[in-house]
Amino acid sequence: MMGIFILVFLLSLTLYDAEGSCWRRAPGGPAPPTGSPPPATPAPPPSACQKVPLHRYWNPRWIDHFYTINPNNQELAKHSFRHELIQGYVYKNRCKGSVPLYRYLSPRGLDHFYTTNPNEIGTTVPGRMGKHGYKSEGHEGYCMPRKVPGTVPLYRYWKAHQADHFYTTNIREIGTATPGRVGKHGYKSEGITCYIFPKP
Q: In this predicted structure, what is the pLDDT of residue 17?
A: 37
71-103 confidence digits (pLDDT tens): 888 778 788 899 999 999 999 999 999 999 999
* Mean pLDDT taken over the chain: 83
Banded model confidence at residue 20, pLDDT cuts 50, 70, 90: very low
24-67 confidence digits (pLDDT tens): 333 333 333 444 444 444 555 555 799 999 999 999 999 999 99
Mean predicted confidence (pLDDT) in 180-192: 97
Q: In this predicted structure, what is the pLDDT of residue 167?
A: 98
Listed by start position, the domains of the chain span: 1-39, 46-196
| Three-state SS letters, the chain | CHHHHHHHHHHHCEEECCCCCEEECCCCCCCCCCCCCCCCCCCCCHHHCCEEEEEEEEECCCCEEEEECCCCCHHHHHCCCEEEEEEEEEECCCCCCCEEEEEEEECCCCEEEEECCHHHCCCCCCCCECHHHCEEEEEEEEEECCCCCCCEEEEEEEEHHHCEEEEECCHHHCCCCCCCCECHHHCEEEEEEEEEECCC
Q: In this predicted structure, what is the pLDDT of residue 59?
A: 94
Mean predicted confidence (pLDDT) in 134-157: 97
